[in-house]
Amino acid sequence: MATPKSVPSTPQRLEGLDALRGFALFGLFMVHMPELFELYWAHPVTDPAQLLWHNVIFTLFGGKAFALMALCFGVSFFIIMDNSARKGVDFTGRFLWRLTVLLIIGLLHGLWYRGEILEVLAVMGVFLLPFYRLKSTTLIATIGVFFLLQPLMWIQLGAALNGADWANRPFGYWSGTVPEAHLTGKSLIETIRMNWVVGHPLKWMFMYESGRLSQILGLSLIGLCLGRIGFFSQPERFGRARLIGLVLSLIAALILWHSQGLISGLIPATEASRMPNALWSGIWSSLTDLSIMLTLMFGFVSLYYGPLHRGLNAFAAPGRMTLSLYVGQSLVFVPVFYSFGLGLHATMSQSEAVMLGLVAFAAQLGLAHLWFRHFHYGPLEWLWRAATYLTLKVPFSRAK
175 assigned to some structural domain: yes
| Pair 244, 29: CB distance under 8 Å | no
251 SS3 class:
helix
User: Per the domain annotation, does 5 fall within a domain?
Assistant: no
> pTM for the whole thing?
0.93
Does residue 9 belong to any structural domain of this protein?
Answer: no
**Distances in Å between the alpha carbon of 254 and those of 58, 132, 251?**
16, 34, 5
In degrees, rounded to 5, the angle at the alpha carbon of residue 103 between the alpha carbons of residues 353 and 24 is 40
Other beta carbons within 10 Å of 15: 19
Determine the Cα–Cα distance for residues 295 and 5; give it in Å rounded to an integer.
42
* Burial track 281-297 (b if 16+ CB lie within 10 A, e otherwise): ebbbbbbbbbbbbbbbb
Tally the domains of the chain: 1
State which H helix or E strand residue 285 sits in. Answer: helix 274-304
Give the pLDDT confidence score for residue 39 in this predicted structure.
Answer: 95
pLDDT value of residue 2: 43
Chain centre to alpha carbon of residue 286: 14
* Count of beta carbons in the 10 Å neighbourhood of residue 310: 8
Domain residues for 58? 15-389
Question: Does residue 8 lie in a domain region?
Answer: no
pLDDT of residue 273: 83
Return per-residue pLDDT of the chain as tens, 400 residues: 444 445 555 556 799 999 999 999 999 999 999 999 999 999 999 999 999 999 999 999 999 999 999 999 999 999 999 999 999 999 999 999 999 999 999 999 999 999 999 999 999 999 999 999 999 999 999 999 999 999 999 999 999 999 999 999 999 999 888 999 999 988 999 999 999 999 999 999 999 999 999 999 999 999 999 999 999 999 999 999 999 999 999 999 999 988 876 666 666 666 678 899 899 989 999 999 999 999 999 999 999 999 999 999 999 999 999 999 999 999 999 999 999 999 999 999 999 999 999 999 999 999 999 999 999 999 999 999 999 999 999 999 987 6
pLDDT of residue 320: 96
Q: Which of 264, 262, 291, 292 is nearest to 280 (CA)?
A: 264
367 three-state secondary structure: helix
Does 376 map to a domain?
A: yes
Could you please report the per-residue DSSP string of 129-153?
Answer: HHHHT-S-HHHHHHHHHHHHT-HHH
Give the pLDDT of residue 185. 85
Residue 399, φ and ψ in degrees, nearest 5: -65, 140
pLDDT attached to residue 1: 46
Residue 340 lies in a domain: yes
Is residue 266 in a domain? yes
The Cα–Cα gap between 277 and 268 comes to 8
